[in-house]
Structure 1
Amino acid sequence: MNRLAYQLIVDKKIKRQIAILSVLSSQKYPATLEDLSEHIGASERTISNDIYQLIEIAPPEVKIKITPKIGITLVCDPSFLISDFILELAENNPVFEILDNLFNGVVETIEDYSERLFISESTLRQKLLVLKKVLREYQLELSLTPLALTGDEINIRCFFFSYYRNSSNKSFMMPEENQVNLHSTVIDTFKKHENGSLYSDYR
């Protein structure tokens, strides 16, 4: 999960749990509750509760071991990607669904989303503050009547590219044949006329 997708997670507990998994997966040695608490910015008790919940919901390929007086370690089956578990934790984030709809041109109001996601309008508006804050970094705004991104087209494209680049497995939308051909033609033409090289991919 990239930085942008992580910023857009609105559930604080899920955000902490993803941070715990990220820290543990990058540690060569066991991490203590104190280490995790300091790194994530939450109390040791809160971190401990998050870890025990992760132990309960983790897939069989993921083991979180707590060794008294030593620390906490994460052990994964070699064939399993911890990123898959992280994506599973984050998949019910309403902001992700809203962004997917905006990208695909679906026009809906806050009332529509509130009814479909079983979230009160006031709660949804609070969650959308997270999205609004991130959009400001791209010089964009979120219109609420109906929901839509407003700003320069190039900034909208930049935002969606950054969001979909590595945010989820669903983001790896395979191109159609005509898109692949167009992409190849553009790259070949550039190389021919500019005598240069250009790295690109279908995204």
Structure 2
Amino acid sequence: MQRQVNALRELLDAASRRIIDILDILITQEDWITIGELSSMMGASERTIAKDVDVIRGRWGQFLKVEASPNKGIRIHSRNVSALGRVVIDIFNDSTALRWLEEIFFNPGKEIEFFVEKLFVSRSTLIRALPGINRFLSERGMAIRYKGNRYQLIAEDEAYLRYFCAGFMIELYGLHPEQFDIGEDFDLAGSLLIKTLRQHLSREEADIVISDEIAILYCTMLYIVSLIRENQGYTIPACHNVNQEIDAEIMSGITCRFPKISKANLSAIDQMVIKQYCGWDSEEERALVEKQGEAFWKRIFGRLEAQLDDGMLRKLVFYIKATYLITKCRPYETSSLFDRIRYFSIFLKKHNDSAYAL
């Protein structure tokens, strides 16, 4: 069976990749599947697959409601994307390569002994992992550079590095990153982000972004990543002053956590975040995308024979424009671990084929 595998999964060990692939099969079908069938689909021995299935049952059996039978095989009853996402996050967090990439982001310029102690692994383990990490990063204009035994994450395009790292951190932390060490920063970045959105978007557009759990999570993480990078000295020049009014108390809170951050740094961050929603090169470009967006949604609703009022159309067209601008901002894919859209499309096709066909 041939499957599309996201590139960063190659940094996981073979057993972890197989477990994800097995779950990929189980979550998209309702019937039983035998170890022999899984073995054939995976191209691995039955003994190897049986061990992987034992790991799934032992570690996530209750959560996924795994059912096993000596004759029928195995199936899971929690066949939803969020359940698989939680399991995959566990697997990602077991990966030395992915955790090292995370640590280098937070601690640039440290010697390898620092990371050995943080990750509880040997020096040789980290050295062996580095070429694979850099192969992946190089395809996206990034690299871990080491000089004098000191390591840092660099990029041809600093803005893209931040987009990538925001998505990467969400993949590692899940939908509740405030529970981790960045919790305090998350609250701070969230308040700054909402001020920025309110200042540069219409009330209706800002409300759309703020009420979208995934969008606000990603933008908040992007703001945190940008604060960290700016504070570390990896700056992006601001083309203009965004003139965000920040009172002394909030600025004091920022400099307490990020002592090298100034209002100029905040202008650069605001500019990058808001570019995802206002980054038009011309009025003609904006008008063309808006026109095409309106035509798209009217065609969809016409085929569904559903009513589309002006308010709903404005919101849906805003999503089209935002998707266009976000794609324009990012020369490479930023979500590299867990393809939620693919799983959603599989379930949509299975349960509502007519909507999928649209």
Which TM-score band applies after superposition, normalised by the shorter structure? 0.7 to 0.9
Unaligned runs of 5+ in 2: 178-185, 202-273, 291-320, 327-333, 335-358
Between structures 1 and 2, the one with greater helix share: 2
Match of 1:96 among 82, 95, 98: 98
Structure 1 residue aligned with 2:18: 16
Distance in 2 (CA, whole Å) between partners of 1:171 and 1:106 is 25
Is 2:151 the partner of 1:147?
A: yes
Residues 43-52 or 151-160, more deviating:
151-160
Deviations 1:25-84 (A, max 9, x none): 112332222332233332210110111122111152322222234332112287962211
Shift of 1:131: 1.0
Is 2:109 the partner of 1:107?
A: yes
Structure 2 residue aligned with 1:84: 86
Structure 2 residue aligned with 1:199: 322
Distance in 1 (CA, whole Å) between partners of 2:54 and 2:278 is 54
Match of 1:72 among 71, 74, 96: 74
Q: Secondary structure at the match of 1:66?
A: strand
Residues 115-124 or 186-195, more deviating:
186-195
Deviations 1:154-175 (A, max 9, x none): 5635643664575651687774
Structure 2 residue aligned with 1:129: 131
Distance in 1 (CA, whole Å) between partners of 2:81 and 2:172 is 21
Q: Secondary structure at the match of 1:144?
A: strand
Shift of 1:183: 6.1
Is 2:162 the partner of 1:160?
A: no
Amino acid at match of 2:152: A
Higher relative contact order (CA 8 A, sep 6+): 1
Contact 1:33 1:48 in 2 (8 A): yes
Contact 2:144 2:153 in 1 (8 A): yes
TM-score (norm 2): 0.47
How many matched pairs?
200
Contact 1:4 1:162 in 2 (8 A): no
% identical equivalent positions: 20
Q: Secondary structure at the match of 1:142?
A: strand
Deviations 1:4-35 (A, max 9, x none): 442332x3222222221121111233222233
Residues 186-195 or 105-114, more deviating:
186-195
Structure 1 residue aligned with 2:194: 177
Contact 2:36 2:46 in 1 (8 A): yes
Amino acid at match of 1:141: A
Distance in 2 (CA, whole Å) between partners of 1:183 and 1:5 is 35
Distance in 1 (CA, whole Å) between partners of 2:81 and 2:163 is 33
Distance in 2 (CA, whole Å) between partners of 1:165 and 1:88 is 13
Distance in 2 (CA, whole Å) between partners of 1:148 and 1:182 is 34
Q: 1:85 to 1:151 in 2, by over 3 A?
A: closer
Structure 2 residue aligned with 1:7: 10
Unaligned runs of 5+ in 1: none
Q: 1:96 to 1:162 in 2, by over 3 A?
A: same
Distance in 2 (CA, whole Å) between partners of 1:158 and 1:87 is 19
Is 2:51 the partner of 1:49?
A: yes
Q: 1:70 to 1:139 in 2, by over 3 A?
A: same
Residues 150-159 or 59-68, more deviating:
150-159
Q: Secondary structure at the match of 2:322?
A: coil
Contact 1:62 1:74 in 2 (8 A): yes
TM-score (norm 1): 0.76
Distance in 2 (CA, whole Å) between partners of 1:171 and 1:140 is 27
Which has the greater radius of gyration? 2
Q: Secondary structure at the match of 1:76?
A: coil
Distance in 2 (CA, whole Å) between partners of 1:189 and 1:90 is 33
